[in-house]
Amino acid sequence: MEFSIDFFRDEVRNGFYIPTAVKQAWAAELSVLSEIDRICVRHGITYYADWGSFLGAVRHGGFIPWDDDLDICMKRDDYEKFRSVADSELPEEYVIHDYASQKDHWLFLARMVNNSKMCFEEQYLNSHSNFPWLAGVDIFVKDYLYTDDGDEKQRDKEILNIIALADSIAEDQLDEKTAVSNIKKIKEKYHVSIPEISRRRDVAVALYALAEKQMARVQPEKAERIGQIFPWVLKNGPGVGEDKTFYEETVRLPFENTTIPVPAYYNRVLSRRYGNYCEIRKVWDGHCYPFFEAQKAEMEQLMGESVPGFVFDEAMLRRDCPNTSDSLKSLASECVETLQVMLSEAVKAISGGDIDVMSKHLTDAQQLAVDLGTLMENVKGESNFHTKNVVSVLEEFCECLWQECQAVLEGSGGEFKASSEVLERVRKSVSDNIINVKEILFLPIGPKEWEGFKEAYEAAQKESDAEIWVLPLPLMRKDCFGRVNMTDEEIELAAKRNGYPDSLLLSDWFAYDPVLHHPDVIYVQCQYDGVNPCLTVPQEFYTRNLQKCTERIVFIPAFRTSEFSESDKTDQYNLKHYVTAPGIVYADKVYVQSENIRQQYINALVRFAGEDTSDVWEKKIAVTSMEQGEKNSPKRKAVLYCLGANELKEHKASLLEEVERRLEMIRSVGPQLELKFMFYPGDLNLWRNVDRELTDSICRRLEMSVGEGVCEVVAIDPAEADSAAETFDAYYGSPSPMVPAFVTHNKPVMISDYDIF
């Protein structure tokens, strides 16, 4: 499965920071999902997103930002069909774990995994986004439940007894006589064959297979509900089952860079499971987050050393004075002084009657002036205001030298007064246009990330003596050895210059020499300088390298996160990817959004570098004094109305009428309300797969409303939900990825309820 560079970018969703390392894990799981999907489509097998992945598809258009696993489910018949064909159709390195094939996997689910072992081979890493860890998809099974709760409880009791016996035998907790006796009863009751007790694992596997057979014994036509028997029905009773009609049809919803099927009645299913599932409850328990950290710890234990990563060294805190001798300012100043010496030497040569020496000094002076002008043009550009000023007076100086030289050769002159006067103007022009000009450099890593620089950029524009440079840096893929593996054309496109505001004057990173420019201040936001697992920027712009060519590096995060505390485990984990990283460690100043976030940064850095570094971070990290600019809301209130595909089934009979009523209500409000309408999912072919006639009827009604000026139909990618939420005043409609985005931005949200409108 192919993934774009942008997929692996660090980003913030719903206020939560997602680093590249987690994106790699997502990519690995999505690749496994693509294989499952391929097999299911080929063989007519139905599956559904389940648990957090189900919730993520509906509420986020992909993974829940703070989740890292991928779950699906199948009905028993589909699961058995899948298991009968999967082994022969999977990629060679893939494996399926279940209780029959995997030691200590005593679970009634299968896990499809992308490899049999962690793999650090170059070829494998290069084809798997440098991700060596095992990743997979859990496949849960749903069975039909008895209509009578008493019958279901009896079935569940039988299953529990079979499982208990299997576990006791597998763990060698029963003596042989007792085990044989219990097995005999099982064989007589269920008329099954069980291996000899000497083969304890085989016995346990046979008993687990028997338990599964009992889970599957209710036929669809004799059931009204369906459920995951192990462990939920066994643990909580038949009441946790769901209406089987909810699982009769599917709709595919966006899921990162693909789609995933969910029950067509997805709102009802999720509401029954979680209540108000649109409410964000960022809690974490269960497996280690992210899942690959456990594998990393296992690897480190086996190796007896840490997996390579960014490790603190006291030398990182030593800030040597940058060498300015090769900067344009130093070279220009040196050139002016040399020109003065050359002119003086030429005058002396005339006094001594040595015309040849005079000519040589003047020729050298002219060439040096030309070289300075050329250097200026190369560094700052021919059209640059300061370049034009300096080059103009340098040309005047060369012309004056030539004229006065000619006068000497003709027997008149010799003091070069005019040239001396022009040289003073050269000195002043160099001072005004080079030496005393403050250069401020911004290094954004993408159009979205530029938003983090906007306030600092606007403040820099107010400095009358400042020259501002904006260099969009390309984000590039690297292999497992850190080598960039992109063509020059791909690298050029990766800078995304066309995505920046038209008002910005952008310069090319490859034409900018940080040593020659030696900017006074460099603003950075980069998390890709060396330690990112699969992305990088040009090495000359790594923060540690920029220290050599400026006195001040200011780090401003590309994104603002939600506020969090020490108890937010997933937020705390991700600090290692964007706080205890080179960009912040090597910067001279770091500005963050609040005092709380400042303290989280300091705490993370102290844990990383030691208690004795606390004062360093206390001084370095500050709360920005720049206000987060509020976007001016238009006088007309902008409302986003979203219709979800779940409504096609959940409110089929009244949906068209209800949509018409809501559009009529908007019309009655008048021109002070601006309505934008969106479908979720945005691909109407996915809707038509559920109900073509109703979908087309809704589209025709919307076309009328658009023509009447009542609304405008928009398409919003779930990945753009956060930025889109900033442009609206309120949200109304079905559950969708826009809901948590609006909530994160403190915008009003109203979920439609057809029963009370």
Query: Of 578, 600, 623, which residue sits at a domain end?
Result: 623
Give me the torsion for CA of 525, 531, 536, 540, rounded to 10°: 70
Is residue 297 included in any domain, yes or no? no
In a domain, 312, yes or no: no
Q: Within this chain, do residues 132 and 152 fall inside the same structural domain, yes or no?
A: no
User: What CATH code is carried by the domain that includes residue 600?
Assistant: 3.40.50
506 shares its domain with 600: yes
In a domain, 632, yes or no: no
Whether 45 and 131 map to the same domain: the answer is yes
Specify whether 134 is located in the same domain as 213: no
- Give strand ranges (E) for 369-515: 438-443, 466-470, 476-477
Domain that holds residue 684: 637-751
> Based on the structure, what is the number of domains in the chain?
5
Residue 222 in domain: no
308 domain residue, yes or no: no
Query: Tens digit of pLDDT for each residue in 521-575?
Result: 999 998 898 899 999 999 999 999 999 999 999 999 999 999 999 999 999 999 9
**pTM over cut 0.95:** no
Beta strands in 14-125 (DSSP E): 16-18, 48-49, 71-75, 95-97, 110-113
Please tell me the distance from the alpha carbon of residue 90 to that of residue 87, in angstroms, as a whole number.
Answer: 6
Nearest to residue 232, comparing CAs of 148, 99, 143, 162? 143
Q: Do residues 11 and 113 share a domain?
A: yes
Which of residues 414, 435, 456 is at a domain's end? 435
Is residue 656 within 8 Å of 693, Cβ to Cβ? no
Helix, strand, coil % in the chain, rounded to nearest 5: 50, 15, 35
Residue 131 and residue 270 share a domain: yes
Strands (E), 557-708: 589-592, 621-623, 637-644, 673-680
DSSP, res 564: -
Number of Cβ within 10 Å of residue 228's Cβ equals 21
**Which residues in the chain land under pLDDT 50?**
629, 756-757
442 and 564 housed in the same domain: yes
550 with 665, same domain: the answer is: no
Q: With helix as H, strand as E and coil as C, how does 355-408 read?
A: HHHHHHHHHHHHHHHHHHHHHHHHHHCCCCHHHHHHHHHHHHHHHHHHHHHHHH
Predicted local confidence at residue 639, as pLDDT: 93
Based on the number of CB atoms within 10 Å of its own CB, is 104 exposed (0-12), middle (13-18) or buried (19 or more)? exposed
Q: What is the pLDDT of residue 225?
A: 97
The reported pLDDT for the residue numbered 757 is 42
Helix (H) and strand (E) counts for the chain? 28, 24
Give the pLDDT score at 526. 82
pLDDT of residue 741: 96
Same domain, yes or no, for 568 and 713? no
Does any domain span residue 132? Answer: yes
CATH number, position 93: 3.30.460
Is residue 127 located within the same domain as residue 254? Answer: yes
Answer yes or no: is 69 within a domain.
yes
Residue 192: which residues within 8 A CB-CB, separation 6 or more?
A: 186, 206, 210
- Residue 262 resides in a domain: yes
Cis (ω within 30 of 0) for the bond into 231?
yes
User: CATH number for the domain including 370?
Assistant: 1.20.120
Task: Verify that 471 and 552 share a domain, yes or no.
Answer: yes
Instruction: Give the pairing of strands 466-470 and 438-443.
Output: parallel
Q: Are residues 431 and 443 in the same domain?
A: no
Examine the fold and report which residue of 623, 646, 676 is the final residue of a domain before the chain moves on.
623
